[in-house]
Each structure stands twice: as structure tokens, then as C-alpha cells.
Structure 1
Amino acid sequence: MLTPMLVIGVTVAYLLALFGVAYVGDKRAEAGRSIIASPWVYALSMAVYCTAWTYFGSVGRAASAGVWFLPIYLGPTLAMLLAWLVVRKMIRIAKTYRITSIADFVASRYGKSPLLAGLVTLITVVGIVPYIALQLKAIASGYAVLTLPLGETVATPAAWWEDSALYMALALAGFTIVFGTRHLDSSERHEGMVAAIAFESVVKLLAFLLVGVFVTYGMFNGMGDIFSQALANADLKPLLALDQGKPFAYSQWFALTLLAMLSVVFLPRQFQVMVVENVDERHLRRAAWVFPLYLLLINVFVLPIALGGLLYFGVGTVNPETFVLSLPLSQGAGWLALVAFVGGVSAATGMVIVEAIAVSTMVCNDLVMPLLLRTRRFGERSGGDLTGLILGIRRVAIILILLLGYLYFHLAGEAYALVSIGLISFAAVAQFAPAVLGGMYWKGGTRNGALAGLLLGFVLWAYTLMLPSLAKSGWVSTDFLQQGPWGIAWLKPEAFLGLSGLDNLTHSLFWSLFANVTAYVWVSLWQRPAAREASQALLFVDVFHRTSSTHPVFWQGQAKVTDLLHLMGRFLGETRAEQLFAKYAQQVGVHDIGQIPADAKLVHFVETQLTGAIGSASARVMVASVVEEEALELDDVMRILEEASELRIALEKLKSLDHLKDDFMSSVTHELRTPLTSIRALSEMMQDDPEMEQEQRQQFLGIVVAETERLSRLVNQVLDMAKIEAGHAEWHNSDVDMRDV
């Protein structure tokens, strides 16, 4: 065992090192030398997927279920095969429309609906709190293993102020506030935070590999020795088989793999690092193989450590989730156990920091701000600067989210293994898949369809998975689990509608996603989308087929430049607003802000800028409060689309004509060489032969004159083309007999 002061001191030193890395990252960004503008850093930041669950929970899972820890990492590997098709489209959409969160993404696709954004945020908060509790539990358990005699059970602190998990939660809240809420515009990249996450990914990988090498080659004679001993042990041999005699074993494998595939895309922290923090779409190409390689490396020693711990300690003597720490401690390698603990802290803190940033942005933009903006004080046109208030809301949200995670840790965390807690969160965020994927590839998806799907999926997730977890923790009566509510057996949460024989996770995932997809498709087909929904659907689905010059703007009405400038100043600051308006003025070809035309493009520009600060739904509400908008009908949408299509066709024709012009100029300039060569050759012949016969000389001079006239015609053609390009051509009409042409 190690002294508490040593463990605390090393942990604090590591957190300070993280502060240093983040600080350097921010400073380099301010100097124009971005650290994160590297595909390697981008790929490493995606490894925030590997949390304390990977570090401790995977070993515990392997010790109880063998190779069944693999689907959680097989899923992301398969997802990366589709990254260029799916994730790249999400990145393009987010960059184009300044989307900052998964809630903003869903709301923006379905007509910028505040209700939909709020629902996604609520699902996220409820679903992610258990995951944050998992990280706190892992850190608290690891600290106890290091500071207590080996094998001694961890006692619950007598008072909350004696709990190390609480102080870790507050420390992480402080770090997140400092480096995650420095800028109001959430679409701006958090350079320092991403640099710290990439650094953490390296630390946790190296630490886990060190422990793996120590156990495999220090305590045993390699992997062959461990596996041969496990095969010879009747208790451990079943852990090496895929089908361990359980019914529907392969359906569970499929469910876990599907769950992991969806989670690696739709977890708020993964959306943050993969989509919002992305610098260049091309970085995704390298991440598509580096991230799976990282997952392979960090899992190479999971099974050897799990089997080695069971062989060394025996079954049921030491908690398998602590093998990463307890095995080095049992050999007197306290330094290695401390390194492993730092790796575990890295895994946990990385997740908590990014998750807190992502969720706090959603809470601020999609829950708190819509409510505040409905009040007279905050919604009026003449309101003051709100930048400080918005940042304050996000900081308070970060603290509350971490405290909720700490509360769940005490309510239910003790009764569940790390993996079980994580799977509950995975199943929650999987409910976003139908609305997001359907919204990106199907123009027929509607707001009400997405609402119906999310509501049904969330309710069934809570009923079939979340409530049973609370019941098994002792906080809710277990009677309804065994008998069903009001004694109705076919409503039992873990055997809903009589479906039995599945594990609780597969059962919940089946019912929640089945109801979600069915409701989404059926309601969308049954109802005609509104004009705004139809326009947003087109922009999302066809995001790769449109450029900024042919981008349709679905808005009509009247607006004032001064009102829009003041509105932007309230949320971005007056200086920043004036800078953005001045830049926009240059783009539209005017020299003064007052000369900017108050048209649909300006309204769209202001709304897009505000979206980065307060989300698409709130931005829509605020812009509507200062302009006189005319309601769009589907006919108007089709008219705008037709105009945009005509512009796109005209642009393509211009490009074609420009290409023909280039071909013409190339052929003309090439033709210039022929008369020049002829003139030079004949002139040199006459110069070299003074005795040339007069008749021959006259013939050569005639050719030179003819070639000179040809050269003049070619030069005139080039000059005429230059005049046409410059708009200075003089046009003369003349009668032409078509028979002579």
C-alpha cells in the first residue's frame, strides 16, 4: 500500500501537468501555431472513448465473461470503416451551419425546433450522469486500492467532506471551467483542451501497456503461459469461449457491437472531438486507421491481465476491476501501481472534461437560454450584453453536472460494475441514431417524427434499463421487476410484452430502438413536413452538392441592419459583432456597414453567427424577435430552390465557357510560335547568305510579310479576348449573307 499523501501529491502534480499542456496549447493557438492542426492529435483525441471503463472495467468484464469485453471495441472499429461516409458528412454540416452539439444538430435539421433541442439535452443529461459516476467510482476505487491493505474492502466515507470522489469532481469542474468556457462561441475550437486530451491518451496507453508487460512477462512466462494455465483450469477455461452456454449469446454480441458503433458517434464527447473540434476533414482519413489501432493496442493485455489476476489471486478474492493496480502491488511494484493509477486518472478525467464541456453547452443553449429569452428582461430588443451571463450559465452547468454524477455514484454506483454503468449510458445516446442518420440521408424525416421516436425510445430505455438499475441498487422497490406494475406480468421491465430469454441490455436496446425507428418513420410518412423542415432537410441531405455561391437562403421579410448588429453585439460583444459585420461588408462589395443590404443573406449570416454562441434554436428565436419575417410556404421553398438551381446551372455554364476560353487562348498562343519560327528562320537564311539570288530573296520576304500578317491577326484575337474579359469590347453590327458563311 502507498501513503495517501503520495497518491494525492502525484495526482495533483499530474493535473497540474494537464493544466500546463492545455495552457501551452492555447498560447500556441493565439500565436497562430495550432497544435491540434495535426491528424495525429485529432486521432489521439478520439481516444477519449477509452475511459475508466476501458482501464478498469474491461479487465473486470474479461475476468467474468472472457472475450465478451471485445464488442465494445469492435463496434468503434467497424464504425471507422464508415467514417468517411457518415462522420465526414456530420463534420461538413456542422462547419457549414456552425453546429456545436448533438442537440443542436438534431434541432437544426428539423426546423431549428427548441422543443426537440430541449428533449435531446434532457436525454443526454439523464443518460450521461451514470457515465460520469462511473469515472468517479473508478478513481475512488483506485485510490482506495492504493492506500488500503491489499484485499481490504472500501468503506463508505462517514461524511461527504471525507469523500475523495467529491474533491476529484470539483477539481475536474475547475479544470473544465478554465479551459472549456473561455470563449462564448462554442463552434470555436478548444485548442488547449484538445491538446490535453491527446496527451492523456498517450499517458493512459503507455501506462496500461507497462502493466500488461509487467504481468505477462514479469509475473508469468508470456501470453502462452497464461493461456495454457487458464485452459487447464476448469473455472477459467469457459472464459476463452465465445458461447459460454448462455441462450442468445450471439444476439448479445451483436447488440453490444451495434451499441458501441452508435455510441462512438453519438456520445456527446465523441461528437465534440470528432465533429466540433475537427480542423480538417482530411484528418479523418488517418484517424480511420489510427483510432482502431489505438483500441487494439490498449486492449492487447486486457485478457492476459484478467486471467493473470484470477490465476494469481484466485476467483472471488480480489475485485477484478482493480487487477491493474493490485497485481503490481502484490509484487511490491508500488511505483508501477502508481503509474497505472495515473493512467486510470487520465482515462477518467479526459472523459469527464470533454463530456462536461459538451453537455454544459447543450444545457445552456437548449434548456436555460430558451427559457431566459422568453422573459421580458432578456428577450427585449434593447437588452444589454449577455456574454458574461451565458458563460456563467455554462460554468454553473459544469459544476451541477459533475455533482449529479457524484450523487448517482452514491445512490446506485456501488451496486453496479463499471461496465454495467457504462452500458446504461450507451443505450441512452443510441436513441439519437434514427433522428440523426435519418435526418442526414432521408429528406422525408419530420420534426414530429423525430420527437415521437425520441420520446418513445427514451421512455422505454428508462423503463427497461434505468429503473431496473435503480431498483437493484435498493432505491426503488423490486416488486415491479418481478411481477410487473399493478401485477401485470406482460409489463415487467425486463420481460416487456412477454419477450424473455434476452439479457437486460439486449432486451432494452431492442424495444427502445424498435419503438424509436418505427415512430420516426411512421409519423414522418403520415405527416407532411413544414416549409422550414423541408428546407433544412434539403440543406442537410445535399450538403456536399452545394457551394456558398449557390446556397439557397430560405427567408423572406424585412429587416434593419442596425437591429441585427445590436442583436449580434448582445451575444458576441460589440467589438466582435462590428468586426464580423465589417468582414461581411467586404464580402458583399460595400465599404461601410451602413451600406450592407438588409436582405435574406444578411439575416442568414447573423443567425449562423449566433448559432455558434447560443445554438440554432435560440438563434432562430432571437433573430425572429428583431425582424419582420413572412411565413414561408412549401411553394416559396420550391421557388427558392428553383432559383438556386438556375444559379447553379448558370455557374456551371460559366465554368464551361471559361474552360473553352482557356482552350482557345492556349491554342492561339501555341499558334503564335509557327509564324515566329518561320520569320526567324527565313531572316537568318537571308542574313547568312548575302549572295542569295534576288528572286529567292523576294520570295522569302513575301513569306515573311504573310507570316507577319498572320501573327498580327493572332495578336488581335488575343487582345479582343482580353477586352471582352475586361468588359471593354466594342461591338459593331453588320449585315451578313448566311450563304457566304
Structure 2
Amino acid sequence: GVDGSTYASWAWLTMLSMLAILFLPRQFQMQVVENTDERHLGKAIWLFPLYLLLMNIFVLPIAFGGLLYFPRGTVNADAFVLTLPLAQGQNAMALVAFIGGVSAATSMVIVTTVALSTMVSNDLVMPLLLGLRVVRIRERGDLGGLLLAIRRVTIIIILLLGYLYFQLIGQSSSLVSIGLISFAAVAQFAPAILGGIYWKGGTRLGALSGLLGGFLVWAYTLPMPSLAEAGAISTDFIVYGPKGIALLRPYALLGLQGLDPISHSLFWSMTVNLGLYMTVSLIGRQSVEERGQATLFVDVTNYATSGDMLPLWRGTATVASLRDLLTRFLGEQRAARALTSFARQHGMDLTTVAEANAELVRYAERLLAGSIGAASARVAIASVVQEEAFNLSEVMRMLDETSQLIAYSHQLEQRSRQLEEKSVALEAASAELRAANERLQELDRLKDDFISTVTHELRTPLTSIRAFSEILHDNPDLDAAKRTHFLEIILKESERLTRLINQVLDLAKLESGAAEWHVEAVDLAELVREVLASTSGLVEEKRIAVQLQMPKEALVLALDRDRITQVMLNLISNAIKFCASESGKIEVRLTRDNGLVQVSVADNGPGLSAQEQAVIFDKFRQVADRTQGKPQGTGLGLPISMQIITHYGGALWVESEAGAGATFHFSLPVVQGEAN
């Protein structure tokens, strides 16, 4: 029979082969880098498996014949295709097989080294050279020769490293085992690449952590034991573990036994790789750029049209500047041919056009990416393209203030160091400056967080409005019912966007003290009744029971009626939102005690946990509606209410237990002569 370990090895090798098909350099070069149209993948889906099947039709008879003719491993299985005809005296056939094998191996080496040299020059060397001002690579006229030299040197280094590895362990290992070790190394790219395509939560630091951890485990469990078995290093650490620690034996790491070395290494390296990638990504925080890139990659179908990717560019560039840029990197003849081909395909005369459109810019970037890599191409294009600014004046104003704060912070640091060097007597002043600097840095961080959050909140309705507007624009014959439905969504998102902007501006005015207050005599009892009357429609719709308790005498205070109405509306609306239909109950109480007027709004909803109560009054913090499954609103109502109540010297707080409803209270001081 066959034991379970054989099936486990077969499963691990199958998964490893699948990953190798995707991420081996030669595979990646053919199916991604040299693929000009993703529609080609439709043919490759059935043609590539057919090729593998046809190849194995010839492999299986040769393998069976070799095992039968050369039993007990007397001949290396890699050489069956040569030893079988030689054993039968068919020297001519052996020569043909040898020539074919050399040709196939040579082509694989050529494709692999070209792919690796392209990756090294495009994604490692060129971004580094473009970022070094000392090299001044941007000032060179023709970079084609430099790119060619970099790739030639890289090819030589790769071939020398391969030959060195062969000299170290190639004589003691079969071609299959060497290939599987390299497959396991390439598989370490799988979590970061697949995660970047399908998971929005990944971060750059998480991907790098996973890659580093996975490669370290792979190196410890496969290449190092191979070097030991070849005699390059001692075999003691394979048998006993480093310094006699049995749990660290490379073929039985942490006591895991029963797997072959390839499966064992793949299990531990992928576990560490995937674990670090997800853990570091979840613990850390995505930057604005990472969040945007994740959205574009994961939701790529929302932005792709007619095979062209991401029609989101807005900016200006001249045809002359793009022609000069392409000439520097591709050479004059190739750049001219490329631009002529583009003009012919699009029916344009680039000699009479001054400003380049978005399609020409993307075409130029694709040409550069093929020569210097996507990252370097984006940097090069950015040097001649002037991007359109994000049209939000308030955000830009805050960014300007942030820049000023950062500059001022640097000045304070320099002044602090100078004061410390001049005299010990100025230590107190220096400490004060350091404290101010820390405060400014904290304000800078808070402002960055605020800008990031507001931008994210604004992007959601804007993306929805743009998507449905493009659908309506691109489909004039759309069904009337769908058109009406899409227009309703656009209107709803526009109202949401307006409400969010108004609340952000209102909160900013309240926090800065620039808000206008229209104080008048306000009867709180009458105001509460008016708010309940205005929300009666929602109450009746959900069949919620409302109880009102208040003193008989009037409670008149000098307040801004609209502001206090806003507070009451927010509290009662929240209570209605979290009450269950038909069984919901809301109680509103108005009391006066010890110079304070207190208003309480209680509901029998799901309540708040201690963690939720700690952040409920923070900006953009929302509690999920258990009945809807997601938060509703903007998360600014309670912070605005807190600012209004605090302005009058009052307090706003919540009392709640999870599953037992919530009660929001606010109190206002009664100034003598103010209340009846």
C-alpha cells in the first residue's frame, strides 16, 4: 500500500508546481511581461494544459522504460532519454536526443536569464539610479546603451552564480531536486502577489516581512542541508540540529516529521511567509497610497474599460516632452517608430498636436515600462506630466498649514539644539521649546489622520457618483427603470456628500471657535416636543413606543435654538436607528436639580460595549447597526453635539451595557435669572 506521507508529498508538489507555473521568471516573463492583451489568457487557459499533457505522453513511456531497463537506480533518471537508445545501440537517436536536450536547456537558460536581467535592471537598478542625484542619470541623452550594459552584466552574474551552485551541489543532486528547491524559492512570492490582487488589507511592510521570513526559512531548510550533503559544510546540524538543538533540525523543524524535505520546507516557509504578511498588515496601518493602490488592484474591473487599465489620469503633458523622454530611454529611431505607430492607429497627426491626451501618456508609460520597469517609468513620466490637483480647497489649506507646522517644528528643533550648546542656564527655555515641538508634531500627526479619514470618507460617495455617471454616459440606450434607479443613487450619494462636507465644516468652526451663536430664550420642554414631533414619522414607521417625562413648569434657558435642536435630533435619531421595529421603546426625560437642567434619551436597543463607549464621541467613529449589519451616518453627529454642549459649560455622556440599551445624557447649567 501507499502511506499517507506519499499522498501528502503529492499534494504539496502539486501546489508547488501550480505556483511555479505562475511565478517562475520565464513563466512570468511570457504570461505577464510579454502579454500585450489579457484576452490571450483565454487561449492559454486550454492551450498550456494541452501542451503539458502532450509532453507527458512522451515522458511516461521513457520513464517506465528506464525504470524497467535500469532497476534499483543504477542510472540517473535525468539521463534515461540518452541511456535507453545507447543501451540498444541507437547512437544516432541518442545524438538527436542530446541535441534536442541541449537546445531546450539553452532556450530555458536564455529566457530565464533575460527575464531575470530585465527584472533586476527595471525594478532594482534603474529605480536606484533614478533616485540618486549624484549619478544625474536624468541628464543623460541616450540611456539605451546604459540599459543594455546593465542587463549584460546581470546576465553574466546570473550565469556565474548558477555555475557556482552547480559546482557546489550539482554533482550530488539530481536535476529534479535542484529544480524543486528553486520552485520552493519562487513560491515565496505567492502570498504577496496573490494577496495584493485579491486582498485590500495588505501593506508594503507586511509583504516585505513575509518575503524575508519565508526566504530565511527556505534557505535554512533546503539550500543549507543541500550544501551539507554535498560536503560544503558539516552535516551535524542536519542530524542533531545547530548546537545540538533537536527542534531546529532543518528536516524536522519544531519536531515536524513524516514529510519529505521539499514538502517540509514548503509547509514551514509558506506558514511563516503568510503569517507574517497577514499579521504585520493587520497590526499596521495602510498609508493613503497603499489604500488607493489596493482599491485599484482588487476592484480593477470597476475601472477597466475595453482592455485599457485605469482611465483615471488627469493632467497635462506636451507631445514634445514625451517624444524627448522616449528618445532618451528608447533611442531616436525606436521612439519615432512607436509614436508613428500610435498616430497611425488613432488617426492623429502628432506634428500638429501640442498637448498629449491621457491615452498617449499611458502608451508612453507602457513603452518605458518595457525597458526600465513600471516603477521607473512612472517616475520618468511624472517628470514631464503635470498632474491635476485634487480640487478641495479646505484640504489643500490644511495641507499648507501642515507644511508650515513641519517647517516650524524643524526650526524649533534647530533652535533648541543651539540653546543647549550655548548655556546650561537656558535649559528651561530649551525644554519648553522641545515640548512645543512635540506638541506640533502631535498636531501634525492628528492633522494627517484627519485628512486621511476625510479623504477616505469623501472618496466613497465620489467613486459611486462617478461610476454610475459613467454608466449613464456610456449607455444612452439604458432601460428607463435602470436609468431612474442609477439617478436616484447618484442623488442619494450627492446628498450624503453634501451632508458630510457640511458636518465637517460645522465641526471645524466649532473646534476653532469661529461658529456663530444666536442666543435667545429657549423653552427646553417645548423644544423637546418639537423634535419628537419632527421625528414622529420614523417612530410610526418602526412602531416604536415613546415616553416623555418632564416637569410641569417651563425651563427657559438662554441658548442657540438651532444648535440645541441639532443635539436633540441627533440623540433621538440614534435611539430610533438602534431600536428594533415594533418592540422598540424610547424614553425622553427632562429634569432640573442643583442648578443643572438634564436631558436624557434612553432606548432598549443592543446597547454599547465598554470599548464602544470609549470611542463613541471620537470623530468618524460609528457603531454598527445590528439590524442593518453596517454603520449608518457619518460618525460626526456625537462629536458635534459634544462641542455644542461643551460651549455652554455642560456635559454629554452615555450609560450603557451591551444588550441592555443605552442612555445618553446632557446637562446644562442654569444661570441665575435665566430659568423660570
Q: Give the TM-score, by structure 1 length.
A: 0.50
1:422 maps onto 2:179 in alignment: yes
Q: Is the 8 A contact 1:324 1:337 kept in 2?
A: yes
Q: Determine the C-alpha separation between the residues in 1 that align with 2:347 and 2:180.
A: 51
Aligned to 1:611: 369
Q: By how many angstroms is 1:458 displaced?
A: 0.8
With over 3 angstroms needed to count, the CA separation of the structure-2 counterparts of 1:392 and 1:519, relative to structure 1, is same
Corresponding residue SS for 2:129: helix
Tell me the residue number matched to 1:398.
Answer: 155
Post-superposition offset of 1:580: 5.9
Deviations 1:284-310 (A, max 9, x none): 444333333332333235454344334
CA distance in 2, matches of 1:386, 1:371: 15
1:503 to partner: Cα distance? 1.5
Letter in 2 for 1:443: K
Counterpart residue identity of residue 246, structure 2: A
Listed as ranges, the matches of 1:347-426 within 5 Å are: 347-376=104-133, 378-379=135-136, 381-426=138-183
Contact 2:197 2:297 (C-alpha < 8 Å) held by counterparts: yes
Supply the distance in 2 between the matched residues of 1:655 and 1:329 (Cα, whole angstroms). 68
Return the letter of the residue paired with 2:259: L
For the Cα contact (< 8 Å) 1:483–1:492, is it kept in 2? yes
RMSD of equivalent CA atoms: 3.6
List per-residue Cα deviations over 1:502-539 (Å, max 9, x = no partner).
21111100011011111111122222222222222222
Match in the other structure for 2:471: 652
* Aligned pair partner of 2:231 in 474, 480, 490: 474
Equivalences for 1:316-715 in 2 at 5 Å? 316-376=73-133, 378-379=135-136, 381-548=138-305, 565-574=323-332, 576-577=334-335, 583=342, 595-596=354-355, 606-624=364-382, 636=455, 643=462, 645-658=464-477
5 Å matches for 1:711-726?
none
One-letter amino acid of the counterpart of residue 419, structure 1: V
Q: Is 1:263 paired with 2:82?
A: no
Q: Any conservation in 1 of the 2:241–2:249 contact (CA below 8 Å)?
A: yes
The CA distance in 2 between the partners of 1:601 and 1:303, in whole Å, is 50
Provide the C-alpha distance between the structure 2 equivalents of 1:470 and 1:419, rounded to a whole number of angstroms: 16
Tell me by how many angstroms 1:255 deviates: 0.6
- Cα 1:623–1:530 change in 2 (3 A) is farther
In 2, are the aligned partners of 1:552 and 1:644 still within 8 Å (CA)?
A: no
- Higher RCO by CA contacts (8 Å cutoff, separation 6 or greater): 1
- For residues 333 and 447 of structure 1, what CA distance do their matches in structure 2 show? 57
Change (3 A) 1:637 1:356: farther
Identify if the C-alpha distance between structure 1 residues 491 and 313 changes in structure 2 by more than 3 Å, giving closer, same or farther. Answer: closer
Q: Is the 8 A contact 1:559 1:626 kept in 2?
A: yes
Q: Which amino acid aligns with 2:354?
A: Q
The residue identity in structure 1 corresponding to 2:90 is A
Greater C-alpha radius of gyration:
2
- The one-letter code matched in structure 1 to 2:472 is K
CA distance in 1 between partners of 2:137 and 2:99 (Å): 50
More helix by share: 1
Give the AA of the match of 1:405: G
How far the C-alpha of 1:577 sits from its partner, in A, is 4.5
Query: How far 1:601 moved relative to its partner?
Result: 7.8
Name the SS for the 2:192 alignment partner: helix
2:145 counterpart letter in structure 1: G
CA 1:409/1:558 → structure 2, altered by over 3 Å: closer, same or farther?
same
Give the counterpart letter for 1:652 in structure 2: I
> What is the CA distance between 1:416 and its match in structure 2?
0.4
Q: Is the 8 A contact 1:468 1:481 kept in 2?
A: yes
Aligned CA distance change for structure 1 residues 521 and 337 (closer, same or farther; 3 Å):
same
Q: Structure 2 length normalisation: TM-score?
A: 0.55
**What is the percent sequence identity of the aligned residues?**
55
Change (3 A) 1:333 1:557: closer
C-alpha contact (below 8 Å) 2:202/2:278 kept by paired residues? yes
Indicate how the Cα distance of structure 1 residues 636 and 570 shifts in structure 2: closer, same or farther if over 3 A, else same.
farther
Task: Tell me, yes or no, if the aligned pair for 2:320 and 2:354 is still in contact at 8 Å.
Answer: no
C-alpha separation between the residues in 1 aligned to 2:18 and 2:310? 34
Change (3 A) 1:564 1:530: farther
Change (3 A) 1:295 1:383: closer
Q: Are 2:184 and 2:218, in contact at CA under 8 Å, matched by a contact in 1?
A: yes
1:313/1:372 CA distance change after superposition, 3 Å: same
Deviation at 1:452, TM superposition (A): 1.0
Alignment gaps of 5+ in structure 1 = 1-240, 662-741
Q: Take 1:482 and 1:558, find their aligned partners in 2: how far apart are those partners?
A: 65
User: Is the CA contact 2:239–2:249 (under 8 Å) kept in the aligned structure 1?
Assistant: yes
Q: Distance in 2 between matches of 1:655 and 1:580?
A: 30
Where is the strand percentage greater, Structure 1 or Structure 2?
2
Change (3 A) 1:653 1:573: same
Q: Distance in 2 between matches of 1:608 and 1:279?
A: 10
Aligned to 2:566: none
Q: How has the CA–CA distance of structure 1 residues 290 and 332 changed in structure 2, closer, same or farther, with 3 Å as cutoff?
A: same
Question: Structure 1 residues 321, 655: CA separation in 2 closer, same or farther (over 3 Å shift)?
Answer: closer
**2:93 aligned with 1:300:** no
Residues 488 and 554 (structure 1 numbering): CA distance in 2 closer, same or farther, change over 3 Å? Answer: farther
Give 5+ residue unaligned stretches, structure 2.
390-398, 400-450, 481-676
What displacement does 1:469 show? 1.0
Number of the residue aligned with 1:11: none
Contact 2:323 2:335 in 1 (8 A): yes
Partners of 2:142 and 2:328 within 8 A in 1: yes
Note closer, same or farther for the CA distance 1:380–1:556 as it changes in structure 2 (3 Å cut): farther
